[in-house]
Amino acid sequence: MMTPRLALLPLVLALTCPLGCTKAPAERATSASATTVDGTEPAAAARVDVDAKRFQALIAQKNGILLDVRTPGEVAQGRIAGSRAINVFDKDFERKIRLLQRDKPILVYCASGRRSATAADRLIAAGFEDVYNLKGGITGWGQAGMPVERGPVAP
């Protein structure tokens, strides 16, 4: 038989644990932000990892900034046409990305997708909201049959 105190336990838990209690601790930590005018939480910016086909479609929209975060030596071996290069290992990386337009989508890639994922997270931390990372990097891009531009890098 249940004691009266135990019978009240579900009610006490319901009153003391708001709906947010069901979220994992990490989710609560990242969703703790200011509320919008209507009282809801704004959507948090997060990178979107996309495959080569989707990345190509985003490039074709011609409204984003295509960003290669590889080293100069890697860029010289081949790149996606129209990309700008900012080496993620450059000591001035943070300063350089802050010069990019924030109102445009950022399409970021590297050799394999790992450095560009890190760069994308750094872009988001710097205040960019619309950031896409090429899964598999330029290696996956080439394997998908997408064009790779070779030759001297334009200034």
Tell me, yes or no, if 110 is annotated catalytic: yes
45 close to 123: Cβ distance less than 8 angstroms: no
Question: Interior CA angle at 68 toward 70 and 90, to 5°?
Answer: 50
CA distance 130 to 107: 9
Which candidate in 110, 120, 134, 138 is catalytic?
Answer: 110
Closest CA to 140 of 62, 80, 75, 61: 80
What does R_g of the chain's alpha carbons equal in angstroms?
Answer: 22
CA distance 52 to 1: 62
CA distance 56 to 90: 27
Partner residues linked to 108 by β-bridges: 67, 133
Catalytic annotation, residues: 110
